[in-house]
Each structure stands twice: as C-alpha cells, then as structure tokens.
Amino acid sequence: MRTLYHHPLCPFSRLVRVVLAEKKLEFDLQIEKFWERRSDFIALNSAGEVPVLVEEGGTALADAAAIAEYLDEVHREPPLLPADPLARAEVRRLVGWFGGKFHAEVTDNLVGEKVFKRLSTAHGEPDSRRIRAGYANIHEHLDYVVWLTERRAWLAGPVFTLADIAAAAQLSCVDYVGDVPWENHPGAKDWYVRVKSRPSFRALLADHLPGVPPPRHYADLDF
C-alpha cells in the first residue's frame, strides 16, 4: 500500500490527499511531526518537509506539485491538468500562485504562526505582526478568486483542475483556524462550496487536530 506522510494542517499535504482521492487511489496516512526532523523521515526527503508519498515499491516522492503531476501522468483518470499546453501553463501558474504567493502571504502568517509555531515550541511565540499581515493579505487573494471565477467556471478554465485543488488546500487550512472572511467575498465562497462538496474533499473536512478544534462552519457544506 502506498503511504502519504503528511500533517493535517499542511496545505501541501492536503493538495496531495485530494489528488489521491480524485484519482480514487488507496493510501495509508501517516502523520509526520516534520519539525522534529526524525532521521528516518529526513532520509525520505532531505528537505524535511511533508508531504512525502512512498509508492508500493518503496520509492519516495517529495514536493506536492511534483507528486501531483506524477500521479496525473501515471493515473490519467480523471485528468487534473488539461491537454492543451497553454491551458496546462495556466493551471501551473495558479498552482504556483497558491503554493508560493498565497502560502507566504496568508497561510504561513496565519496557520504557521497560530498552529505550527505552537506545535514546534522551539520557534517561540506567535508573531502578532505576521498574523495581522495575514489578515490584511487574504482579502486581495479572495478578490482574485472572485475575479477568476467571474470569468471562468473554475479557477484555471472551464473544468475543475489542480489549480482548484491547490487553492482550496491552502484556504481550507486557513478556514480551519477560522480566518477566512467569507462574508466579505461571496463569490469566493460560492467557488469554495463547490470544491468542498466534492467527495475528494470529505476526508479533509473530518480532520480534527487535538487541542485545535475547527470552527463550527468548517465542515458545513452550507455554511
């Protein structure tokens, strides 16, 4: 059986979990406290980061986007990237946007400070300036989601793709800590409800981190 080393509130792990579920692939989940830098885990991924996917033969894959592209190449149905090169580039641009810009400006400031800093006590107290920056930055990103979905059925074009998964993976972590101002961005909420309603998202909505309960609306499909 393939094994995914992950953390429930790591957005990149969530991306891979949704890809595996969309492809209807079976896998074992193994929570990795990556901040402890366990040597057996470092041997799987020198970067010391989750997610890591270990395939049945024992091959370890790291980097969420690399894992997602690999799974999409090996298990074609349903395709999570379109066939046209320009359309694929648009999906990848958005995967890069949410994994890079959104993560740095929002997720890392909010989930990073509020959850991971507390878990890995070595890194000290949450930084209130970073938390405030996260609160401020998220609006621009939600506006961008609205802008995109006013022009397209899904973020990267007419069909659901890896771009939607990448964006929802980040937003779902921020939503877990109750920090997505959905009421100010109804268009973004409409899109998120559609993603959240997919069977592939179900396991994420059942996540429950001990000591860090999600807000009541987190798993609610009609929030």
Q: How many CB atoms lie within 10 A of CB 50?
A: 23
Q: Distance (Å, rounded) from C-alpha 22 to C-alpha 205?
A: 15
Stretch that binds its own copies, among 31-39, 59-67, 112-120, 123-131 (CB under 8 A): 59-67
34 forms part of the interface with its own copies (CB under 8 A):
no
73 forms part of the interface with its own copies (CB under 8 A):
yes
Instruction: Measure the N-to-C terminal CA separation of the chain; round to a whole number of Å.
Output: 36
Stretch that binds its own copies, among 24-32, 70-78, 113-121, 207-215 (CB under 8 A): 70-78
124 forms part of the interface with its own copies (CB under 8 A):
no
CA-atom Rg of the chain in angstroms: 17
101-120 positions binding its own copies, by CB under 8 A: 101
Comparing C-alpha atoms, which of 49, 14, 4, 5 is closest to residue 175? 14
Stretch that binds its own copies, among 55-63, 167-175, 187-195, 198-206 (CB under 8 A): 55-63
Q: How many of the chain's residues bind its own copies (CB under 8 A)?
A: 26
50 residue type, one letter:
V
**Cα dihedral across residues 37, 40, 42, 44: positive or negative:** negative
Q: Which residues bind its own copies (CB under 8 A)?
A: 46-47, 59, 61-63, 65-67, 69-70, 73-74, 85-86, 88-90, 92-93, 95-97, 100-101, 144
